[in-house]
Each structure stands twice: as C-alpha cells, then as structure tokens.
Structure 1
Amino acid sequence: MKSNGADSRRSFLKKSGLATVGFMGLYQFINPMAKASSREQIAGYGPLIRDPKGILNLPKGFSYKIISRSGEKMSDGFLTPGRPDGMGTFEGKDGRIIIVRNHENSPDEFEEGAFGKKNEYYSKADADKLYETGKGILPGLGGTTTLVYNPITEEVEQEYLSLAGTIRNCAGGVTPWGSWLTCEESTVKKGDYKGQLEQNHGYVFEVPASEEAKLSKARPIKAMGRFNHEAVAVDPRTSIVYLTEDRGDGLFYRFVPNVPGELHRGGKLQALAIQGSPSRDTRNWKDLKGKKFPKNTPIEVEWIDLEEIDAPEDDLRHRGFHEGAACFARGEGIWFGDEELYFACTNGGEISAGQVFRYVPGEFEGTADEKEAPGKLELFAEPNDKEILKSCDNVAIAPWGDLLLCEDDPHPFVVGITTQGKYYKLAENIGFRTEFAGGVFSPDGKIYFVNIQGAGLTLAITGPWGSRS
C-alpha cells in the first residue's frame, strides 16, 4: 500500500464516502495462533479476549453490539432477510449512518427471504419494482436492505427492503456519487427452477443510499456483463468500475462508462491481461504448470475488449482467457484505496488458502493514451499459512490504510494486513460455524460493521482504533 501521507488518503476517503481519522499506530504482539516459523511478530491490537457471551472474540478495549437479526420485522413490514453479505456505508443526516446490505439468497430459500416462509408478505411488494417475480411463486429473494443507524444511541432507527427480485446478491461496492452497486453471484436463466424464473441473472444493480424507506426499481446494468459477479470498486478519479468474478478460473474486469457516474448509459467491458504474457495464470496452485506469479513485483498490464458480454452460455471468462486475459482463483472482495485498489482471491496460492492483489491504475487509465503509462498488478499477499490467513473474502481498507479481510470459513477471523505487509487478527467468530461477511467502516472510521452470515447477524464493533499499548 502507498504511504504517501494522511492528507492524500483523507482526500480519497472523503470522495469515496469514508472520512479518514488519519494514520494510526498499531501495536506489535506475539500472535499465539501463528506458527513461529511463519512470522514471529505481527501487528495488531493485542491478543483476542474470549467473549463471555460466546459469540465474538476481540482485543482488549473493543466491544460489539448486534444491531440486526434475520427474521425480525423491519420498518416497512417485511422481514429482515437472512444470509447478509457485502455492505457499504454512507453519511446520513445529523450524524446518522446509512448502511446498504446485500443478501445472498436463492429463490427457493423462503426461510431466508423478506417475504416469509410461505411468501405471505409477497403481496405487499410492488411487483413492478422487482426484477424477478418468478411468476409470483418464486421471486428473487436476494436483493438489499438499508439500515439507518444512530451511533449515539447505538440503535437502528429504520430498516427496509431497498432492492428485491434479484438472486444471490453477494458483494458489491460504493460509488463516489453516493450509491451502492450490488452484484448477483449467479448465472441462472429464464426457465430455470422448473420453468419458474422469468429473467436471466448475473448482473449488477445500482441502489441509492437513502434514509427514506423506499423500494428501488431493480434495473440491471447489462453493459457490465453477465457472469458470476462478486464485487466492484469505483475509481473516483475516472468513474471506471473494476469487477471481480467468483469462479475458480475467473477473470478480473473493468467497465469504462460512456458517461462518468451514469452507468446505465453504457460503456465498454474489458478484461485484464499481463503484458507480454497472454493467458497468464495467477493462481499459483501447486499442481499448475508454468512459472509462478511473483510476489511484491508490480507488473504492467493491458486490457482486452470483450464481446457478447451477455454470455448466454456463461462462457465470458473462457472466451476472455482464450483472447489472452489473465486467470484468477475466485475473485472476491475488492476496495479502492488511495489511487489503488485491492482484491482478494479466495482459494489462490500454493495451498489454495488465498491471495490479495493490488492494482494501481495508470495515469491515462481507460483512455487511448494508457499504453504510455500502463496500470500495474502486484501480488501483494500470499502467506500460504492457514493460521495466518485462509479463504479471504470481503475486503475493506481501514481509515489508517490497513486491509481488513473477512474469512469465508466455518471458524473465521477478521484478518488485518498493515501497510508494511504484516498480519493481525481483529476478530474471531466462536459462536457460529459460518463465515464473516461484508466488513466495512462507518464514514467517520469509528465503527466497523460486519455480518455473521449463516446466523443472520449484523454487528457494530467499536474500540480504541488509534491507541497504543
């Protein structure tokens, strides 16, 4: 990560909806969970203290509060859906925080949906605003909910269904213009589910960040392609959208909009390729032939135009790789930092435990002159030690520059990586055998929100983010 001072990072984070609290010192401590041979000292806030409630272990001085539970009645009369996933935060009125939250539900998971176990609340929804109604029998149960959180009272003042009729909304990303892009991690088609589905799926949708309890009309941004979308990150300088694909042989994409900030007006979808090394495999799996992708070595890239991006055969990644695009191991969370972005590959690396890549856009990114100063891709982290990092999924950049990674594992941690490339554990889920998801900071950097997905819980974590031992 760049360490070019607090001022430039503050400028970026304000543009992206997150206000910085500046660079903060982190303690050093001996991690009792790490192998001595791997790393003797790592950064962090000290050892994790066992939670007497048996839910979440945190460092000394930190605390959590459960602010939302699946199945409870929301402000609009619908039920809080289950399987909460990616989230974004935005500034609300009078210090309130707007949280837009994904739900990774399939159409037949009624017990996890907003409409009840027997679809009993479906009739209350405006069907014209749903993308998939499933003939009124099998509506898309993914979508998003929006929470309005008061950090003073530590209470959710409003919670409502903000996008509906979509499927398996996994992650997404905030935009500089104050909306949330939510992604379908599914490529099911019209006629699937025994003929009940009426739409093709595998798209990105835009949701406004609003305190008004209102269901937005679901409109797919088809120019961003149809594939197993995971997450997106938007460059505030150019409005270029970078996209990950949750496939073991996925690509890394970018969408160059025709009009900055107006994604529905179309644009060009491209895939990343390594200069001088067409169809490069970055996964570094032990049994793969060819040279490994090097760590901590920025490599110049180029971008390949993609055709037939609606991909009725779900083969966009295969065609892109054939044309020279690089291959990645399950691209997951992605976040834009200070003129650079980071994205996780859940099962990349020699032991398939995960990788983190950094991409720095070129000076003329997305223009006809970009070959004069190409963007650069770097394998930033690949520890190949599951006691340090395993199955990294959602990514967020802390206000002081660290990466925070949610592990997709039955015994997950939230893992931090400092600007110097050192690791630490911020949180441990001991209450439920299910992944962490959607970790994101509040706009002022004082609260870290995270989901325990299978339990249907959203938590707010607070603590001495800037203190030293």
Structure 2
Amino acid sequence: MVSLDRRSFLATTGGALASGVALNTLGAHAAWAAAGCAPADPGRIGYGELRRTAARNTGEELLALPAGFSYVVLGRTGTPMDDGTLTPIAHDGMAAFPGTRRHTARLIRNHEVRTPPGSPTGRVHVPGSARYDELGVGGTTTLEVDLRGGEVVRQFVSLNGTIVNCAGGRMFGNRGWLTCEETTAGPAQGWQRKHGYIFEVPLDGPRPGRPAASMPLTAMGRFSHEAVAVDPRTGYVYETEDDSGKPNGFYRYRPRDPRNLAAGGVLEMLKIKGRDGYDCREGQRMGARLPVEWVRVDDPDPDLENGAPTCAQQGLAKGGAKFNRLEGCWWGDGSVFFNSTSGGDAKNGDPPNADGFVEGYGQVWQYVPGRRGGGTLVLVYESPGRRALDSPDNLTFTPRGGIVLCEDDASDADADPHPLAPGLANVNRLIGLDPRGGEPFEFAVNISDDSEFAGACFSPDGSVLFVNNLGSTAAADPPGRTYAIRGPWGRGPL
C-alpha cells in the first residue's frame, strides 16, 4: 500500500497514479491464481467481513460493506432533476471530475437505456435540445455532489439523442467525457439515424436545460463500443468492443488533433506480431509478453445496413487478435489495462458462441505502447472461477494503489448466490485486489437486486468511491442508483 497526499492525487488524471503498485497487485493476484489457491477467510483480507448496511439518507439496506464504511444514495431513477426532467434508468459508466464549487465533485454518468425508439420509459430527453437522433432514449446526466455530506447540489441531462450509452472514458486533457454506444442499431430497428458511435460530453458548457449537442465521432468507428482510455502523451484513444457471441477487437484511434477528435484520424485493430488471427480468449499464460502491431480498419463507419463488413471483420481479415466481450478500460503507468468479461480457460457453463468459443470467468489485460508504434500485450490476471471473480466489467485503480473490479455476472448457467443476499440467484460484487498478498476480496455486495455494478471512480480528493447500480435497462424497476461510499480507506488496500 502507498500513502498519498491530496496535492499529489489532484495533480493526477483522475487517480492514474500509484499504477506501479497497481501493476504489482495484478501480478501478485495472477501468481496467487496460477498457484491454484482458493479465496481466504474474508475476515482476514481486504477490509474484513462484510455486513448488510443501510444507506445513511434512505435507511434502505442496499449494499453489504465492511465495518466502518457507510454510503448515501444519489440520483435514483425517477428523482426530479434541476432541468425539470426525471432521473433516467440504467446507470452505467461514469467519471468524477473536480466540481465547480469547493468540496464538490462533478460526476458525468451514462444511461444504457434499451427501450424502443422514442419510448418515454426512463428516457434521457430534454425537449428542444440539439440531439443526434430525435428518437434516441439514451445519453448522460451530470451531478454536482457535496463531498462533505453527500448531498446533490445540482443534477441535469448533459447529453441526449443517443442510445445504449454503456461506458466511456475521459477526454484528452480531462476536458470532459467520451460516452460510447454499445450497439450498431439503426433505421432497420426503427431509429432515425445510424448508431454505434462515440460522442463528446464537454466538462464546460452543458447546464440544466441545455445539454451538449450530440455529434457522432464517426472516424472513431461504428461498432458496439464499451469503454475508452486516452494516452495523455499522444492523445491516442484506445477502445474496447463488447459484441456478445462473436470475436471482438481492441482498437486504437490516432487522431490528427487530440483536442479535436472530429477532425479525423486513423482507426486500427491490435494484432499479435507474426500471428494472424491470434486467439486471446483462452489458452493464454499469465505474464507472457506478446509483441503487438496494428492493422488499419479501412472503413471505420461501415454501411452495415447494406452488408458492409463490420470493423471487427475488417480487422480480423488482416490478422487482428480475437478477444471476448472487452469492457472496462483504464490508462495508467504508461499502459492501458482492459477487461475481457468472459475470457479465460475456466468456463462458466453458458452455450458456445457462434464460432465455438465457450465463455470463461474473465481476464485482465495490459497493453504497453512501444516507442515505434508497436508495443506489448500481457495477460496480467485470469479468473480461476466465480468465487474469485465473476465477469469483470468496469475497473478502476484507486489513489492508494489498490484495484476495484465491477462484476457483471451475465452467465445463465452458473447460479451465483450469496449468503448476504438471500433470494437472489446471480449476485454482483465489487472485488478488490490486495497488493499485500495478491488475494481477491469482496469489498461490496449488491443485495438489492441482480443488476451489475458499474462506473466505479474515486472523487478527485480520494475520499469517496462513487459507483452505480445499473438497475433495469428497460423499466423503472429495479431503479438505477448512484452510491457514494466513505470509510477508513487507509485501513486496507483501496
């Protein structure tokens, strides 16, 4: 564990420090898993045994947390916002930025709404605003939060006119949020416009009643986007793809101008050097270093409606590497870390994908850029089974050198009950990785419903962990919620 003063943390890009410690954590965790160890007594690692805990502001028992930790509920689905709209459904990816007032943080939060075109159910919508698709149901909301008491100072829609806004990442220079559509739907599915793009949500500009104009960055690719991470030196944007049931790619966008992504650039897919179609989904050795090259995606905005090859098909045709369900993505220590939610050799029991691949419990990868554009790919962790880690989605590295992984247990075959959540068949957790021993530990359990955790991020001063409970993506119940968790962080590795 490392110590960190407030000034050091504020000087970083949202907690992208202590990453050397974080990398050591992943390495220790990989060694622990490779040795075939089982999870230790939960009372002896992490922050100790968890207990059902009521929210300070609502009294509801929604989370199980270690002793000494508390939380408040923010931005629950249906809560009135300052622009006159109700908080939408499906709370997903998120980032925390310095607030506009002292002792505040500003959250930009995605809403992965999956209702039909124009549906009013939980829609992200401000009438009369500039939006890409008039029938769009997704988008982002912004919350200003007082870090001392956990109260919401203001909240409003900051982008609308998009659909299925899943995750994203910080813009170059921390100027805002890149929000990603996890779909390639279009007019054939009833929408007015084609979808499958990345959009910018600037930090400055959107305000109650005046969301940012939603303009797709088509050169960055049309595919089922999940998350992005930006190299703060070059401005290159690394992108993950989550298209279930088929091989996915890991992409790089090299913009002409990092501060103007709409000015165009080159989209590429990762390829293992000298190994066409290398399959990263299984049969991998943790710690092995795979040399990387990049192949160009010639048509980043394919006309899928008329049979054009997808971005993944274009990259795979040139020998690109295969992954399965790439989701969370994070930059630090000069590297990109990203999750393959269902990669790995330990199988979860779901039916095979179309190409015969049988899904696993998850992998964590690291890409280290090379000086001449190549680089190295390393599998730093692979889950040996659901008890250790089941389907990692979003991830974040903490200001004290720990790692938090959000579970999205999507397996239909492998029930995942938990003694703290009676009545739920598939329970999702926040899993911490401990740099002191490499063992995974439960930090939080969603005891309210079976939806995933998402959008974990720390406040700029490192005092509060914000995280979302997705809720339903098509109905108001179960609701989406944002949690603000406080506690004795220095007592453990997070």
TM superposition shift of 1:283: 0.6
TM superposition shift of 1:191: 4.0
Number of the residue aligned with 1:136: none
> What's the RMSD between the two structures over aligned residues?
2.7
SS of equivalent to 2:53: coil
Number of the residue aligned with 1:130: 131
TM superposition shift of 1:38: 2.1
Q: Which has the higher contact order (CA 8 A, sep 6+)?
A: 2
Number of the residue aligned with 1:118: none
Q: How does 1:163-178 map to 2 (within 5 A)?
A: 163-175=159-171, 176-178=173-175
Instruction: Output the CA distance in 1 between the equivalents of 2:455 and 2:167.
Output: 7
Instruction: Output the CA distance in 1 between the equivalents of 2:367 and 2:385.
Output: 23
Residue 87 (structure 2) pairs with residue 80 (structure 1): yes
Instruction: Output the CA distance in 2 between the equivalents of 1:311 and 1:354.
Output: 30
- Structure 1 residues 19 and 390: CA distance shift in structure 2, 3 A: closer
Instruction: Output the CA distance in 2 between the equivalents of 1:230 and 1:250.
Output: 11
Instruction: Output the CA distance in 2 between the equivalents of 1:10 and 1:202.
Output: 39
Structure 2 length normalisation: TM-score? 0.81
Instruction: Output the CA distance in 2 between the equivalents of 1:177 and 1:40.
Output: 39
Instruction: Output the CA distance in 1 between the equivalents of 2:400 and 2:289.
Output: 23
Q: How does 1:54-453 map to 2 (within 5 A)?
A: 54-93=61-100, 94-108=102-116, 109-115=119-125, 125-127=127-129, 129-133=130-134, 139-175=135-171, 176-193=173-190, 197-210=191-204, 212-213=207-208, 214-247=210-243, 248-284=246-282, 292-313=283-304, 315-350=310-345, 351=347, 352-362=360-370, 364=371, 369-370=372-373, 374-409=374-409, 410-419=426-435, 421-453=438-470
Which blocks of at least 5 consecutive residues in structure 1 are unaligned?
Answer: 27-34, 116-123, 134-138, 285-291
Amino acid in the other structure paired with 2:180: C
TM superposition shift of 1:174: 1.1
| 1:107–1:140 contact (8 Å) kept in structure 2 | no
Structure 1 stretch 42-51 or stretch 294-303: which is displaced more? 42-51
| 1:13–1:20 contact (8 Å) kept in structure 2 | no
| 1:19–1:444 contact (8 Å) kept in structure 2 | no
Q: What do the CA deviations read for 1:112-131 (whole angstroms, capped 9, x no partner)?
A: 2145xxxxxxxx5224x111
| 2:53–2:70 contact (8 Å) kept in structure 1 | no
TM superposition shift of 1:6: 7.2
| 1:227–1:311 contact (8 Å) kept in structure 2 | no
Identical pairs, percent:
40
TM superposition shift of 1:80: 0.6
Amino acid in the other structure paired with 2:427: H
TM superposition shift of 1:43: 4.2
| 2:325–2:342 contact (8 Å) kept in structure 1 | yes
TM superposition shift of 1:10: 8.4
Amino acid in the other structure paired with 2:158: S
SS of equivalent to 2:187: coil
Amino acid in the other structure paired with 2:320: A
Q: What do the CA deviations read for 1:239-273 (whole angstroms, capped 9, x no partner)?
A: 11000000241000011111122211111100001
| 1:228–1:246 contact (8 Å) kept in structure 2 | yes
Instruction: Output the CA distance in 2 between the equivalents of 1:230 and 1:87.
Output: 12
Which blocks of at least 5 consecutive residues in structure 2 are unaligned?
Answer: 26-34, 55-59, 348-359, 410-425, 472-478
- Structure 1 residues 103 and 380: CA distance shift in structure 2, 3 A: same
Instruction: Output the CA distance in 2 between the equivalents of 1:183 and 1:318.
Output: 20
Instruction: Output the CA distance in 1 between the equivalents of 2:248 and 2:291.
Output: 20
Number of the residue aligned with 1:464: 488
Instruction: Output the CA distance in 2 between the equivalents of 1:239 and 1:132.
Output: 28
| 1:38–1:385 contact (8 Å) kept in structure 2 | no
SS of equivalent to 2:488: coil
Amino acid in the other structure paired with 1:55: L
| 1:141–1:164 contact (8 Å) kept in structure 2 | yes
